[in-house]
Chains A and B, each alone.
Chain A
Amino acid sequence: MTQNTINSKSQDDREEKFSIRNLIFPFSVALVVLFSLAPILWQFLTSVKTNDAIVALPNVYFPSPNQLTLSHYTELFERRPFFSYMLNSAFVSLTSTILCLTLGSPAAYALARLRIKGENVILAIVLVITLFPYILLFLGLLELVKATGLGNNFLALIIPYTAINLPLTILVMRSFFQQLPRDLEDSARVDGYNTVQMLQKIVLPMTLPALATTGILTFIFAWNEFIFALTFITLEDLKTIPVAAAQIGGSSVFEIPYGTIAAATVLGTFPLVVLVLFFQKKIVQGLTAGAVKG
């Protein structure tokens, strides 16, 4: 596969003759698509099959009309507060994203443009902590949450989510500010703007695309977070989607509700699928800026 890819990297494929070599590339594209989509599609198919069709052997890949149902979805909303889970996830993710951009962008600007003592130390620290897995933080945070009585309070999620996304925000926004032409800021200074005014009136409007890029990433990370949400929120009505979905299976010992779990996974991933469909380019941009250029 690699040989073929490189070989034809910079040449146009005008070879007409039909050979196995020419098939390798379309085949690898198909493989990438299948590999990426199969688990999601299987989950979707399971979610719309009746319980009988789900446990039919051999597996049903093309259900007939009477094997289709939406009951797994209605069950999520009728028997469980699934709408609350979605709202909780949306609220926590949005709030922490806004907070993260509000705190992270000014810091990124300072690190990109202003000369501060210890700037390199700050950057090095920011770079290293992007690598810390959350399990290292959860014990200390658990104590903090207990001490401050923030258990079952969304702040117990919003503050850590803001923090875990700050390093990425700072790195992405900093690389953006570095690419911004300096002239604008210089002429603003000549016009007598101080730093804060200049940030508000000149820099911020130009920054909106980069803020969107960063915001999409932070939203995804916050929506997907599991261990803090599992530990700090125990009230059913306050749970976020990943935790709530993961706990559906554990609710009954005798019969695992495969269809309901599948429906929950479809609904829980749906907002992210939409985000990726619309903002693929921005996501790639942000990830590479955050990881590579930093």
Chain B
Amino acid sequence: MTQDTIRNREQKTGWLLVTPALIVLLLVYAYPILRAFWLSFFAQNLGTQLQPEFAGLANYGRMMGDSRFWQSLWNTTIFTFVALAFELTLGMGVALVLNRAFRGRGFVRTIAILPWALPTAIMALAWTWIFNDQYGILNDILLRLGLIQEGINWLGNPTLAMIAVITADVWKTTSFVSILLLAGLQSISGDLYEAHAIEGATPWQSFRQITLPLLMPQILIAALFRFAQSFGVFDLVQVMTGGGPAGSTEMVSLYIYATVRRYLDFGYGAALVVVTFIILVAVVAIAFYLLGKVRKSAGVEL
């Protein structure tokens, strides 16, 4: 057998093994997104008897003046960045704690990943109950501590509702961040810290000069994953507030869902999907670019 026929066979077998998976991915990922692009140029709603009628860029034009869309985009941005900041900080703290040797560490690690593994929709119910205005445990604790005089209506106030959903999201996903960061921490050699300490560096300096730079790839990857997931957050907010009160926690995903399911406006819903997709892809592209740079510079330094 010549080299060429072996290569050819490898190609064929390779494609044979890859194709079934690719077909499923094309069906569930590529089709819906391409379809949304196509449909976004049509009006298909109750006004057109749910039949598609070509409308050019009308859906996008409408989006420009749609204050509810801008509001939801703003809500999503606030939610994403505040949650991300807390998750990265807390996740780093948890990872540092779990990285240290202590008795019962395996057990604590197990407990620390529990929030990540539990269904978001169900834990959203648990948090709704915690934030309940009458019988919620949070109000009870605050009352007992004398910090408040009467129960706060957490989910009934625009700002407080946003704080509540962010809190629940931070609880749910900090463990994911800490799992990724912990894996990174474990790959950093202890010798580095010892050498640094001998040179007279304080722990804080070690953290800044060794841990942070070496952990940067993991931090960026965790941030990227968390960004994408927060930007598309649905379950948590849908169950906790349904986007309320008065749209103050309505995220882009909830608006898309309502547009399609409640108002049966498929064309406009598709345009919303397209814009969300483009924002996401743009941010991901920037993050990959940064990640490449960080990996390169880490490679040069070491």
Specify which chain A residues have a CB less than 8 angstroms from the CB of B260 in the assembled complex.
138-139, 142
Chain A residues near B112 (CB, 8 Å)?
32-33, 36
Q: For the complex, give the distance between the alpha carbons of A275 and B24 in Å.
A: 27
Fill in one digit per residue for B221-240: 1 if any A CB lies within 8 Å of its CB, else 0. 11011001101111100110
**Is A150 located at the chain interface by the 8 A CB criterion?**
no
Interface segment out of the listed A68-76, A115-123, A178-186, A205-213: A115-123
What size tier do the contact residues of chain B reach? 35 or more
* Cross-chain contact B111 with A36 (CB below 8 angstroms): yes
Given contacts A133-B231, A224-B118, contact A246 B126 (CB under 8 A): no
Interface bits B1-38 vs A (CB < 8 Å: 1, else 0): 00000010011011101101110110111011111100
Q: Given A106-B17, A227-B234, do A3 and B207 touch, yes or no (CB 8 Å)?
A: yes
Q: Bound state CA distance, A292 and B25, in angstroms?
A: 22
Instruction: Choose the segment among B53-61, B63-71, B93-101, B153-161 that binds chain A (4+ C-beta atoms closer than 8 Å).
Output: B93-101
Residue A65 lies at the interface, judged by CB distance under 8 Å to chain B: no
Question: Chain A interface secondary structure, helix, strand, loop or mixed?
Answer: helix
Q: How far is the CA of A85 from the CA of B33 in the complex (A)?
A: 31
Judge if A152 is at the interface, Cβ distance under 8 Å: no
Q: Which of A128, A140, A170 has the most CB of B within 10 A?
A: A140
- What residues make up the interface of A, taking CB atoms closer than 8 Å to B? 1-10, 25, 28-29, 32-33, 35-37, 39-40, 42-43, 46, 54-55, 57-59, 103-104, 106-107, 109-111, 114-117, 119, 122, 125-126, 128-144, 159-160, 162-164, 166-167, 170, 195-196, 220, 223-224, 226-227, 231, 241-243, 245-246, 249, 258, 261-262, 264-265, 268-269, 272-273, 275-277, 280, 283-284, 287-288, 291-292
Which of A9, A10, A135, A268 counts the most chain B CB atoms within 10 A?
A135
A2 CA / B7 CA spacing, docked (Å): 53
- Bound complex: CA A39 to CA B122 (Å): 11
Instruction: Please give, as numbers and ranges, the residues of chain B lying within 8 Å of A43 by CB-CB distance.
Output: 126, 129
- Chain A residue numbers with a CB within 8 Å of B294 are none
**CB of B263 within 8 A of chain A?**
no
A-B residue pairs in contact (CB < 8 Å), sample of 19: A3-B204, A7-B203, A9-B193, A25-B102, A103-B20, A125-B25, A131-B280, A133-B253, A133-B280, A162-B28, A166-B21, A220-B117, A224-B119, A227-B234, A231-B261, A272-B117, A272-B119, A273-B117, A280-B106
In the complex, are the beta carbons of A111 and B122 less than 8 A apart?
Answer: no
A-contact bits for B75-107, CB 8 A (1 contact / 0 none): 000000000000000001110111110100010
Does B200 interact with chain A (Cβ within 8 Å)?
A: no
Interface: B74 (CB within 8 A):
no
Q: What is B's interface to A at a CB cutoff of 8 Å?
A: 7, 10-11, 13-15, 17-18, 20-22, 24-25, 27-29, 31-36, 39, 92-94, 96-100, 102, 106, 108-115, 117-130, 132, 134-135, 137, 140, 143-144, 171, 175-176, 179-180, 182-184, 190, 193-194, 202-204, 206-207, 211, 217-218, 221-222, 224-225, 228-229, 231-235, 238-239, 252-253, 256-257, 260-261, 266, 269-270, 273, 276-277, 280-281, 284
Tell me the minimal C-beta distance from B241 to chain A in angstroms.
13
A249 to B125, CA, bound (A): 9
With the chains together, A170 CA to B266 CA distance in Å? 33
> Is A139 a contact partner of B269 (Cβ separation < 8 A)?
yes
Q: Is the CB of B122 within 8 A of A268?
A: yes
Question: What are the nearest 6 A-B pairs in CB distance?
Answer: A133-B232, A140-B32, A163-B28, A10-B190, A116-B14, A131-B228
Q: In the complex, what residues of A have CB within 8 A of residue B128's CB?
A: 249
Could you tell me the distance between the alpha carbons of A221 and B17 in the complex, rounded to whole angstroms?
A: 24
